[in-house]
Structure 1
Amino acid sequence: MAYYLAFDAGTGSGRAVLFDESGAEISASSQEWWHATDARYPGSMDFDTAGNWAALARCCREVIATSGVDPKDIKAVSATAMREAFVLHDQTGTEIWACANVDARASDEVRALKTSHPDLERDIYNRSGQTYALGALPRLIWLRKHMPDVLERAQSLTMLSDWVLYRLSGALSSEPSNAGTTGLIGLADRAPLRDVLNLMDLPESLFPHAASTGEVIGEVHAAAANETGLAPGTLVVAGGGDCQTGALGLGVVNEGDCAVMGGTFWQQVVNVPLSLTDPTMNLRINPHVVPDLNQAEAISFFTGAVMRWFRDAFGQGKSYSELEAASKSVPPGAFGIIPVFSDVMRYGEWFHAAPSLLNLSIDPERSGPDAIFRALQENAAIVAHRNLEAVFDLTGRRPDRIIFAGGASKSAHWAQILADVTGLTVATPRVKEATAQGCAAAAATGAGLFASLREAGNAWSQIEAEFTPNSDLNALYADASIRWAKAYAAQRDLVTANVTTSMWQAPGT
């Protein structure tokens, strides 16, 4: 039996996950990690390359030990990671600086760029699908001001998925589905925006050798083998950004395919042609790991984190399943409660209102934990629906179904709510955590098990259940969506008036 291993450098943890040649998960190990803030720089979020590599290596050793698999039977490894986070390397390849994904230290630099080059962000967005909100350019300019020696020494920029592969093989590479989130890679040709790099006096060679997902970039070298327990010479294969490898694992590999990935953040993605852009600059557009597709993406912030907050603050020691079971007695609409947490995607002006619960009743039966829990689940579906409708309006086509994955999709009740709110059939996959599976599918493709990524995604994805929308609830949820949008607009106004504090805002907004 052949095996394929995925490393996943996520926002809150690092993981190693082993799959067999049928796509079945054999063993997994994870370790939580945190990203330190430098007290000197508000909004900073540093990434500890030494400590976090050690954590990933431990996870790999544990997976091999618990699975009992001979490392020589692991034919290939790949890596996926949180997007936007990147590492700078000097001329020897040594890591000299790294930041995590929502590092927001560069607010002043964003404002300065918008003043000095008023048309540049729009130009970058039109070509890369990215704004300054999470892009690399403001952070690099921040380094020039605050840590000039680091930027002077920087010879290469890798995303975290590329960085893991560098640690394994010693080869520096740049895979576009993740590198595209820097805002410095073109959507059409997946090449660096050299004119922008020149304009900002950054080296054209900042991005190393381009490697497509599924491409072999090297082999596990002796030092990495000693650290991870992998066999020296194991193939190292280019991976990708977590959302895009997740789509691969779900079989979302054709134009028009649609998925909602429900984790700490909820990501709504639709596969689109390479030529598509958004004139409103609200949606994000990223390179897919499948080479002839891009993805229109909207992000709901902290959806899973809000559920965890509610459980810890108001759940009285109950588990998620216990809270959900109690909430099922609450009628659809949750007595009109309006949660205010994540906004819809507004990539060009990205900030959220202050966390709030509106329209509560003093009747405890209508505003107690059961009702609020259901309202939070419904609100997650309403925000996802509004985001998806923006994509459908842009593309002019609607899918037949939504693939719902991630931790939230383990709840059949939530899947049904998503179907009822969107009016579309919702399908949940057998493997809920698809990101690592898609990454392993890339490794398997590199090792020759599949002829293409599309073939790999179709072969390994399996639907476990489908949920048909209840048309009787269309009007109720349409009204709830309209009321939420009006309430949210008013809450955003309170933030801009400095009455309340935004849950999160992009640098420079």
Structure 2
Amino acid sequence: MTENVYLVIDVGTGNVRVALVTPAGKVVAIAADVVRYHRDTRYTDALYFEPEALWAQILELCRRVMAGIDGARVAAITSSSQREGVVLLDASGREVAGMPNIDHRGRDFEDILADKDRVYRLTGRYPTSLFSAFKVLGIARREPERAAQISVMVSISEWVLFRLSGKTCYEHAQASETLLYDVENRRWSEELCADFAIDPAILPPLAYAGDVLGDVLPEWAGRFGISPGTKVVVGGADTQLAILSTLPSTDDVVIVSGTTTPVVKIVDQYITDDRQRTWTNSHALKQLFILETNAGVTGLNLQRFKAIFYPNEPYEQMEREILAAIDKGPQCWAALGSLIADEKRPLIRGGFVLPTPLHHELTRGDFAFALLWDLACSIYENYRNLCDVVPHREPYLWACGGGMQSTLLLRFLAGLTGKEIRVRTHFTQSTVAGGAVICNSVLQLAEEMDASFEATLPDGEWDTTGWYNRWKKNREALKLHQS
């Protein structure tokens, strides 16, 4: 086995993963488990996780991946997590609350902000209960005694680092998701803290991805069987680390297909959209930003669809049936709630559009085509909105994430955009590979990230313009009838 490996802990929305990855980005061991959430009935739409239970999962996953690394040395440990998730600590470092990105306990208090346009200009995003400040505000309004215990606020990835090293920080890209951070000037904002009545003292020092936070604590070094001097390296937001795995240049566009599908452009200046369609975030790399639109829960839709229609078959079988549906002519179209940046109201009632009476040749492959085409069109629409804010002139797009395992999705995107779609060798585990990029920058190891890639070219085989127009018409019709 490779002499040096990195231990990467990634807490996503659906799963927590622990992986060992080489400096070249090759995953040599990985273990995963489902993140368990609980509903908090004191709020309109609130979910939480038990930090102690999540930490126990992480320790078990670490034990499993470390069991088979004979001859390898863990050179560094880093972490990544879902954006907008947050853990609150008391003065002794004990967890007061753990809230995921999908927690919306602040929804009932969104109207407290008098000047949302000002908040957008400072934070690069329109303020909603998705973001961390509203989660803290929700606790303050409904549970003041609990709120009084809060001494430190960290993102989930930095909470993992705190557990490992005993030191707190807040990575810049994760800070972008709080609504308490001045994105252009890369600093905490006293003005924004005042808007949410949040004490700035609970915000730890900011850190960049790749900063060394400290050494792993002896307790975990002994438990993992690694050197007590192993460095704990700041990682950060899962989207930004996934972007890093593609080794992009400034002005490149990257599509990250996970639970949701961010479509991002790497820029070297702070840019916002007059129509507030985009988010602007600090990138994991210093001096760079990412401009983002997001197609919503596209990847999650695909996973759930497969679980219902193809529970025991591989994705390859589903794609064969999609091709068969295309060959005889698609019989089904879909609009399943994916987000489009320029829509004033999201699609909250979607579905499949079928001919009546049902066609005798209708198959599950027709439904699969409709879902995958809906996913591709939603990504394309968000790409177009992104290009409306900042033009994209390169003849290619980078893609990464587990959702990009579909070769048909890559072909659909190439046809819609007219661009070459490129994926790196390690694209399916992009966040983990991004962790390797971060650790490489710290340790300056001789081995570098594998830069090879495969490209999908627009081939003109299908009438994607006609399909797109059909999809657009159906989506508009469904929007008119939603309630």
Q: Does 2:182 correspond to 1:155?
A: no
Equivalent residues in 2 for 1:331-342, closer than 5 Å: 331=326, 335=330, 337-342=332-337
Contact 2:101-2:131 at 8 Å conserved across structures:
no
| Per-residue deviation, 1:328 | 0.9
SS in 2 for 1:377: helix
Q: What is the letter of the counterpart of residue 411 of structure 2?
A: Q
Q: What is the letter of the counterpart of residue 387 of structure 1?
A: N
**Alpha-carbon distance in 1 for matches of 2:47, 2:286:** 31
Q: What is the letter of the counterpart of residue 109 of structure 1?
A: F
**Alpha-carbon distance in 1 for matches of 2:405, 2:56:** 31
| Per-residue deviation, 1:448 | 3.4
Contact 1:4-1:74 at 8 Å conserved across structures:
yes
Aligned to 2:242: 246
Aligned to 1:31: 33
| Per-residue deviation, 1:365 | 5.4
Contact 1:174-1:208 at 8 Å conserved across structures:
yes
Contact 1:130-1:182 at 8 Å conserved across structures:
no
Contact 1:426-1:468 at 8 Å conserved across structures:
yes
Aligned to 2:45: 43
Q: Does 2:459 correspond to 1:470?
A: yes
Q: What is the letter of the counterpart of residue 235 of structure 2?
A: G
After alignment, is 228-237 or 155-164 more displaced? 228-237
Q: 2:133 aligns with which of 137, 143, 160?
A: 137
**Alpha-carbon distance in 2 for matches of 1:463, 1:367:** 41
Q: For residues 69 and 148 of structure 1, do their structure 2 counterparts lie closer, same or farther at Cα, with a shift above 3 Å needed?
A: farther
**Alpha-carbon distance in 2 for matches of 1:347, 1:214:** 35
Q: For residues 334 and 434 of structure 1, do their structure 2 counterparts lie closer, same or farther at Cα, with a shift above 3 Å needed?
A: farther
Q: For residues 27 and 469 of structure 1, do their structure 2 counterparts lie closer, same or farther at Cα, with a shift above 3 Å needed?
A: same
SS in 2 for 1:75: strand
| Per-residue deviation, 1:349 | 5.3
Aligned to 2:68: 66
**How high is the TM-score relative to the length of structure 1?**
0.88
| Per-residue deviation, 1:262 | 1.9
| Per-residue deviation, 1:399 | 2.7
SS in 2 for 1:460: coil
**Alpha-carbon distance in 2 for matches of 1:143, 1:227:** 35
Q: For residues 348 and 204 of structure 1, do their structure 2 counterparts lie closer, same or farther at Cα, with a shift above 3 Å needed?
A: farther
Aligned to 2:472: 485
Aligned to 2:397: 402
**Alpha-carbon distance in 2 for matches of 1:11, 1:263:** 10
Aligned to 2:96: 96
Q: Does 2:112 correspond to 1:113?
A: yes
**Alpha-carbon distance in 1 for matches of 2:320, 2:291:** 34
Q: 1:206 aligns with which of 197, 202, 207?
A: 202
**Alpha-carbon distance in 2 for matches of 1:481, 1:333:** 18
Aligned to 2:324: 329
Count matched residues.
479
| Per-residue deviation, 1:305 | 2.5
Q: 1:345 aligns with which of 340, 347, 353?
A: 340
Q: For residues 235 and 333 of structure 1, do their structure 2 counterparts lie closer, same or farther at Cα, with a shift above 3 Å needed?
A: farther
Over residues 48-69 of structure 1, what are the superposed CA-to-partner deviations in whole Å (9 max), with x where a residue is unaligned? 2111111111111211112224
Aligned to 1:372: 367
User: Any unmatched runs of 5+ in structure 2?
Assistant: none
Aligned to 1:501: none
| Per-residue deviation, 1:208 | 0.5
Q: What is the letter of the counterpart of residue 418 of structure 2?
A: G
Q: What is the letter of the counterpart of residue 271 of structure 1?
A: I
**Alpha-carbon distance in 1 for matches of 2:224, 2:144:** 34
Q: Does 2:275 correspond to 1:280?
A: yes
Q: Does 2:76 correspond to 1:80?
A: no
**Alpha-carbon distance in 2 for matches of 1:478, 1:273:** 34
Aligned to 2:186: 190
Contact 1:361-1:367 at 8 Å conserved across structures:
no
**Alpha-carbon distance in 2 for matches of 1:106, 1:171:** 28
SS in 1 for 2:28: strand
Q: What is the letter of the counterpart of residue 86 of structure 2?
A: F
**Alpha-carbon distance in 2 for matches of 1:387, 1:333:** 30
Q: For residues 75 and 318 of structure 1, do their structure 2 counterparts lie closer, same or farther at Cα, with a shift above 3 Å needed?
A: closer
Contact 2:7-2:76 at 8 Å conserved across structures:
yes
After alignment, is 122-131 or 359-368 more displaced? 359-368
**Alpha-carbon distance in 2 for matches of 1:423, 1:365:** 35
Q: For residues 79 and 411 of structure 1, do their structure 2 counterparts lie closer, same or farther at Cα, with a shift above 3 Å needed?
A: same
| Per-residue deviation, 1:90 | 1.5
Contact 1:87-1:158 at 8 Å conserved across structures:
yes
Contact 1:251-1:461 at 8 Å conserved across structures:
no
Q: RMSD across aligned C-alpha pairs, in angstroms?
A: 2.3
Q: What is the letter of the counterpart of residue 478 of structure 1?
A: T
**Alpha-carbon distance in 2 for matches of 1:320, 1:96:** 41
Q: For residues 60 and 52 of structure 1, do their structure 2 counterparts lie closer, same or farther at Cα, with a shift above 3 Å needed?
A: same
Over residues 189-208 of structure 1, what are the superposed CA-to-partner deviations in whole Å (9 max), with x where a residue is unaligned? 21112112124332122220
Q: For residues 322 and 28 of structure 1, do their structure 2 counterparts lie closer, same or farther at Cα, with a shift above 3 Å needed?
A: same
SS in 1 for 2:181: coil
**Alpha-carbon distance in 1 for matches of 2:230, 2:345:** 43
SS in 2 for 1:124: helix
Q: 1:21 aligns with which of 23, 39, 47?
A: 23
Over residues 378-421 of structure 1, what are the superposed CA-to-partner deviations in whole Å (9 max), with x where a residue is unaligned? 22111111101111121123332112222222222321122112
| Per-residue deviation, 1:374 | 1.4
Contact 2:5-2:21 at 8 Å conserved across structures:
yes
Contact 2:340-2:346 at 8 Å conserved across structures:
no
Q: For residues 199 and 381 of structure 1, do their structure 2 counterparts lie closer, same or farther at Cα, with a shift above 3 Å needed?
A: closer
Contact 2:19-2:65 at 8 Å conserved across structures:
yes
Over residues 90-120 of structure 1, what are the superposed CA-to-partner deviations in whole Å (9 max), with x where a residue is unaligned? 122221112011112222101x325xx1x2x
SS in 2 for 1:67: coil
Q: For residues 387 and 332 of structure 1, do their structure 2 counterparts lie closer, same or farther at Cα, with a shift above 3 Å needed?
A: farther
Q: 1:302 aligns with which of 285, 297, 306?
A: 297
SS in 1 for 2:157: helix
Q: Does 2:254 correspond to 1:259?
A: yes
SS in 2 for 1:255: coil
| Per-residue deviation, 1:272 | 2.1
| Per-residue deviation, 1:37 | 1.0
**Alpha-carbon distance in 2 for matches of 1:317, 1:20:** 32
SS in 2 for 1:270: strand
Contact 1:124-1:184 at 8 Å conserved across structures:
no
Q: For residues 348 and 238 of structure 1, do their structure 2 counterparts lie closer, same or farther at Cα, with a shift above 3 Å needed?
A: farther
**Alpha-carbon distance in 1 for matches of 2:424, 2:327:** 25
